[in-house]
Amino acid sequence: MPLRTVTLLGATGSVGRSVRDIVSENPERLAIRTVVGGQDAAALAQVAIETGASFAALADEAGGPALREALTGTGIASGAGRTAVLEAVARPADIVVSAISGAAGLEATFAALLPGRTIALANKESLVCAGEAVMIRAAQVAARLLPLDSEHNALFQVLGAEPLSAVHSMTLTASGGPFRTWSAERIAAAGPEQALKHPNYTMGAKITVDSASMMNKGLELIEARFLFGLEADQLDVLVHPQQIVHGLVTFRDGSVSAGMALPDMRVAAAHCLGIDGRLDAPPARFLDLATSAPLSFERPDLDRFPALGLAIAALREGGAMPAVLNAANEVAVAAFLTGRLRFTGIPALVEAVCAAMPVTREAPRDIAAALAVDQDSRRRAASLLSQAPFTAT
Ligand SMILES: NC(=O)c1ccc[n+]([C@@H]2O[C@H](COP(=O)([O-])OP(=O)(O)OC[C@H]3O[C@@H](n4cnc5c(N)ncnc54)[C@H](OP(=O)(O)O)[C@@H]3O)[C@@H](O)[C@H]2O)c1
């Protein structure tokens, strides 16, 4: 197998860590050449040195001098700011891993869709905010889009070569998050410390809070809609606390196939990075069903987890609504994490922003249109945040 070169967007994050683990386990098959980070120059410099990358780009322009200084004498070139990130994305690579968090990853992900490229997509916001535009561009340039989100990765693998017309429906599983068994009153009083305790995964703060509210599963439903080209009513969620089954495909004839693995992002990362020939996993990453906890499944409770209901409504509404929902949620989660909003304020703010937007807005046709909806919605969310009832924490 020839060596495959990798560009890692979001290299210092949690998905970035999983990808780096897989690359370092397979040095004869994979090499990271380019790394991109957000604001943390020291962390990015360290990752660039550890991975042996030849170029590092930081999104935050102000961090450029610190990054350059930290890389002095290493021979690793660096840049900072939007242009540097786009330069990093344009550099030759067999696989680009899109693992920047939030709508901030939109532009780089879109720019990564170049002819012949393979994109391993963790940044679900690209599909939530600009699903049609991303899928059309990928098809136009014949870029291969691989889902790195574990549920979508499982569904992708289960689907295999089956045509879409063979599929009756797809089910994404959810852990239920740290509040799965909590009463509505207890959830209402939860702070960041409780929300940041995911039962199975260590992830970035934003997605961990989204898992606690179950907004993450709603965003994933929207992601799946575009990725697989399904109708909204063909997508479903089941709460499955053990997170062994990640996705289920129900075929037209009633057959159901499950995608299973240990709850470890490195499994999905290994599948994407080994798309042209499976990579070997260490023994600890193999699933032993005989010793795992009994598998259980239940319907999500939309009364205690209204964020999921809002996302399902945006999925059905379509157009620009998923982008509005995502932007409002990003503002709400940031406010929750800094103590400006209660946990129950997250869905309340999202609902208020969605209700305030004109429902007729078309789905963004390009990244500029998606970013315009994103910015509009953020402004609306920030303005509502400074008004009652959101000012009462
Ligand atoms: N974590 C998981 O297990 C998991 C699973 C499935 C999907 N995902 C998705 O994967 C994405 C990343 O999640 P994560 O948990 O890895 O997040 P994370 O740990 O917070 O890491 C985010 C990464 O993105 C970088 N970043 C932030 N803003 C940026 C910008 N404007 N430009 C360039 N880079 C920027 C960060 O760098 P700095 O730290 O320097 O800002 C960091 O490297 C999200 O879309 C998430 O929904 C995550």
- Does 207 sit in the ligand 1 pocket, CB within 6 Å? yes
Q: For atom 3 of ligand 1, which residue has the closest CA? A: 203
Q: How far out from the chain centre does Cα 114 lie?
A: 20
Q: How far does residue 206's CA lie from ligand 1's centre (Å)?
A: 9
Residue 17, classed as helix, strand or coil, is: helix
Distance of CA 100 from the midpoint of ligand 1 (Å):
4
Ligand 1, atom nearest to 11 Cα: 43
323 and 129 Cβ atoms separated by less than 8 Å: yes
Nearest partner of 281 among 10, 85, 37, 22, judged by Cα? 22
Write down the domain spans for the chain.
4-148, 163-262+283-305, 318-387
Q: What is the dihedral of CA 197, 201, 205, 210, to 10 degrees?
A: -80
pLDDT (tens place) for every residue of the chain, 393 residues total: 889 999 999 999 999 999 999 999 999 999 999 999 999 999 999 999 999 999 999 999 999 999 999 999 999 999 999 999 999 999 999 999 999 999 999 999 999 999 989 999 999 999 999 999 999 999 999 999 999 999 999 999 999 999 999 999 999 999 999 999 999 999 999 999 999 998 888 899 999 999 999 999 999 999 999 999 999 999 999 999 999 999 999 999 999 999 999 999 999 999 999 999 999 999 999 999 999 999 999 999 999 999 999 999 999 999 999 999 999 999 999 999 999 999 999 999 999 999 997 656 799 999 999 999 999 999 999 999 998 788 755
Ligand 1 within 6 A of CB of 101 = yes
Rounded Cα distance between 311 and 239, Å, is 16
Best residue among 7, 14, 125 to mutate for probing ligand 1, ranked by most atoms within 8 Å of CB = 14
Instruction: Tell me yes or no: is domain 318-387 CATH 1.10.1740.10.
Output: yes
Bridge partners of 259, per DSSP, are: 247
* Per-residue confidence (pLDDT) for residue 359, from 0 to 100: 59
CATH class of 4-148: alpha beta
Q: For 255-269, what is each residue's pLDDT tens digit?
A: 999 999 999 999 999
What is the Å distance from ligand 1's center to 14 Cα?
7
Q: How many CB atoms lie within 10 A of CB 242?
A: 17
4 contact partners, CB below 8 Å, separation of at least 6: 29, 30, 31, 94, 95, 273, 276
**Ligand 1, atom 26: closest residue by C-alpha:** 38
Residue with the nearest Cα to atom 12 of ligand 1? Answer: 101
Q: If you write DSSP's letter for every residue of 169-230 in order, what string do you get?
A: EEEEEE---TTTT--HHHHHT--HHHHT--SS----HHHHHHHHHTHHHHHHHHHHHHHHT-
Q: Which of 104, 92, 93, 56 is nearest to 273 (CA)?
A: 93
- What's the pLDDT tens digit per position in 65-90? 999 999 999 999 999 999 999 999 99
Cis peptide before 306 (omega within 30 of 0): no
Side chain identity at residue 12, one-letter code = T
Which of 7, 100, 200 gets mutated to test ligand 1 (max ligand atoms within 8 A of its CB)?
A: 100
Whether the CB of 47 sits within 6 Å of ligand 1: no
Predicted TM-score (pTM) of the model is 0.97
* Atom in ligand 1 nearest the alpha carbon of residue 15: 16
- Cα 126 to chain centroid, rounded: 8
